[in-house]
Amino acid sequence: MKVYEQNQIRNVALIGAPGSGKTTLAETMLFESGIVKRRGSVDEKSTVSDFHEVEQERGNSVYASFMHAEWRDCKINILDTPGLDDFVGEVFSSMRVADNAILVLSGQHGMEVGTEILWSKVGEMKKPTMIVINGMDHPKANFEGALESVKKRFGSNAILVQYPFNQGEHFNSIIDVFKMTMYQFPAGGGKPQKLAIPASEKERVEKLRGELIEKAAENDESLMEKYFESGTLEESELARGMKLGFAKQDLMPIYCVSAKANMGSGRVMGFLNSVALAPHEAAPETTIDEKELKFDPKGPSVVFIYKTLMEQYLGKVNFFKVCSGEIKTGMEFANSVTGDSEKIGQILIMDGKNRNIVDRMVAGDIGALVKLKNTSTNQTLHTKESDLVIKPIEFPTAKIQLAIAAENKNDDEKMVTGLREFHEEDPTFLFEYSKELKQLIVSGQGELHLDIARWRLQHSFSVKSTFLRPRIPYRETIQKDADSMYRHKKQSGGAGQFGEVHIKVLPYKEGMPKPEGFSIRKEEIIDLPWGGKLVFYNAIVGGVIDARFVPSVLKGILEKMEEGPITGSYARDVCVVLHDGKMHPVDSNDISFKIAGSMSFKDGFLQASPLLLEPIYELSVTVPEELVGDVMADLQSRRSVIQGIDSVNNYQVVKAKAPLSELYKYSTSLKSITQGRAGFSCKFSEYVTVPGELQKKLAQEYAAAKAN
């Protein structure tokens, strides 16, 4: 297969809400460029892009698919990303290596909530973006409505280049302001006929042409001078001005297509060929020490792994971008993380599940490698003479957590192996065994995200699993001072056990003075791993407890703080004064004072007006204005406190604070309430006091469980 040089490469990510037609557009681009001889369809489950079993079963994209089209003298690397927010990690990795983006919008709905949520996350990557309004052949196509939503969102940066002449069921013509031509397509789509612009449209086209020229001329002084002198620009000058504005993200050209009817994709690829950025024209990569690394084919060879997949027949596939130099078959690289040496075997250009072999790729190109020994996503491969390391992708944090358990305990090991593989493929999927909750916790972007993991456990690893409600990481503390003592005494024939401890417990507050009335010999301030502090004062005088036993008392207290007396949750923000006790010259030992310390702390804690704290999360819910009332009512039913409502573009953002215990399956509930037209993000905020009745109920449940 032909090796393309840097100026011939275009890397583009297709992004947009589910149902906007990204996969169909990618398929049409491949067909128009001759890469495939027959167009597949999403309905027939025959597209190049959505080829995984889970995607075909569910009918939507789960993975970002890599493919390429060849148009004129260019190789267009296409990354077709999922539209659902649950799989936003795939979008992040694709956008990282793309030099250009196509924001695909539905011709019926324009800027949907899903698009807004997605753009709020990836727009900060500042990739030059063109907008393609799709579905012009749909009976309910509303190009003007979609255009208005775009203008409202992006303002004057969004500039119209095309519009449909006859949208709807009889759509077959596009008026192109850049080319000053009407393209009329035959039935079934394909190569259009070029026609003069109808007289009825000339006034509108001239006005739009002037707006486009003015916007393009803003980016170059010589173009602005030419525009002021002659009132127009030549097509080549217009293209140059558009490219300059596009590169600075000051110009977002708007095109229209019907991907399903194969009408308009050629002009989209024409834009990518003539205006979109080649790698060396785009922003350079950044190394971990914040230095720029230009896409220079003559520079040191550096390869960044942006994605990993486990394919049924290929095994582990590492997708990469050449950030500098070139990659050739037989080269040896060092892994910047593991230090392992990796020898390059076959270099692949992937088109979905199909693959083509090339001998080399230059800086800026994207491909795939198989049979690397120990290389994963976010790792850099460089030649042994180099030490350049690419800054890793910062993936979004998880939004939801569920507990998971294998239905058959004998499958536990296989389940963990599967979960580890899923995390390697998708860094936004996390799992860990929580010592605190005593559950295996999986975390992700939404319930569908986690459902896919469970589906794959069953289909790829033959492990049936169940999701469980995760326990809540409550915290326990105290409200007042209390005195306590405990004597541990055990006699069993030989040497016995004896230790007596007297302590005072106090609530800890930042900046509080040392307790009065004690001769404090030593103060230890311990930052607890789960948050909060323990301040331990040794106030023993007269040798009533030998100094060597004091650490054992502290150890016993710390162990009891890992299983608080109210609900077994971690305790925090407590001061303990060890001020008296007794010991035995023969029977006293470390274990005796550890037990005495633990039990005296428990008794004192229960006398000190114990308080249960619950984790509170900040929520931001993006929702259409007409559904705000329903969302707020649901939040209030979850003991949430509404913080305010902001207006962002076409939508409202409801901000609230909600207890974690009330957010179980919130994403499913939100989708149901809003028919999938809302999205949310959340993050931990603070711990606050649990309502008294709820604390009593939880304490009773814990006591009953302990009794059993």
Q: For residues 464 and 524, state if they share a domain.
A: no
Q: Which two tokens stand for residue 295?
A: 């896409």
b/e per residue, 617-637, with b = 16+ CB within 10 A? bebbbbbbeebbeebbebbee
**φ, ψ at 70 (rounded to 5°):** -115, 120
Q: Is residue 114 part of a domain?
A: yes
Q: Which two tokens stand for residue 160?
A: 């119209």
Q: Is residue 68 part of a domain?
A: yes
Which of 468, 486, 513 is the C-terminal boundary of a domain? 468
Helix (H, G, I), strand (E, B) or coil at 333: strand
Q: For residues 596 and 690, state if they share a domain.
A: no
The vertex-583 CA angle with 579 and 589, nearest 5°, equals 110
Q: Is residue 489 part of a domain?
A: yes
Which of 333, 351, 382 is the C-terminal boundary of a domain? 382
Residue 555: domain span? 476-608
Q: For residues 418 and 491, state if they share a domain.
A: no
Q: Is residue 242 part of a domain?
A: no
Q: State the CATH number of the domain containing residue 318.
A: 2.40.30.10
- For residue 355, the model assigns a pLDDT of 87
- For residue 632, the model assigns a pLDDT of 96
Structurally, the chain folds into a number of domains equal to 5
- For residue 543, the model assigns a pLDDT of 87
DSSP letters for 204-239: HHHHHHHHHHHHHHTT-HHHHHHHHHHS---HHHHH
Q: State the CATH number of the domain containing residue 602.
A: 3.30.230.10
- For residue 493, the model assigns a pLDDT of 66
Mean pLDDT of the chain: 93
Q: State the CATH number of the domain containing residue 423.
A: 3.30.70.870
Q: Is residue 263 part of a domain?
A: yes
Q: For residues 658 and 575, state if they share a domain.
A: no
Q: Are 488 and 509 in contact (CB under 8 A)?
A: no
Span 302-349, pLDDT tens digits? 999 999 998 877 789 999 999 999 999 999 999 999 989 999 999 999
Which of 555, 574, 608 is the C-terminal boundary of a domain? 608
Q: State the CATH number of the domain containing residue 53.
A: 3.40.50.300
- DSSP letter for 624, please: -
In the chain, which residues have pLDDT < 70?
1, 493-494
Contacts of 454 (CB under 8 A, 6+ apart): 404, 465, 467
Q: For residues 162 and 32, state if they share a domain.
A: yes
Q: For residues 47 and 122, state if they share a domain.
A: yes
Span 519-562, pLDDT tens digits? 999 999 999 999 999 999 999 998 899 999 999 999 999 999 99
Q: Is residue 218 part of a domain?
A: no
- DSSP letter for 472, please: P
Q: For residues 454 and 524, state if they share a domain.
A: no
Q: Is residue 244 part of a domain?
A: no
Q: For residues 482 and 577, state if they share a domain.
A: yes
Q: Are 302 and 379 in contact (CB under 8 A)?
A: no
C-alpha to C-alpha distance for 118 and 130, rounded to whole angstroms: 15
Helix (H, G, I), strand (E, B) or coil at 485: strand
- For residue 708, the model assigns a pLDDT of 75
376: how many CB neighbours lie within 10 A of its CB?
A: 18
Q: State the CATH number of the domain containing residue 621.
A: 3.30.70.240
Q: What is the 3-state secondary structure (H, E, C) of 273-320?
A: HHCCCCHHHCCCEEECCCCEECCCCCCCCEEEEEEEEEECCCEEEEEE
Q: Are 538 and 577 in contact (CB under 8 A)?
A: no
C-alpha to C-alpha distance for 441 and 432, rounded to whole angstroms: 6
DSSP letters for 7-45: GGEEEEEEE--TTS-HHHHHHHHHHHTTS-SS---TTTT
Q: For residues 20 and 165, state if they share a domain.
A: yes
Q: For residues 514 and 596, state if they share a domain.
A: yes
Q: For residues 180 and 200, state if they share a domain.
A: yes
Q: For residues 167 and 30, state if they share a domain.
A: yes
Span 18-36, pLDDT tens digits? 999 999 999 999 999 999 9
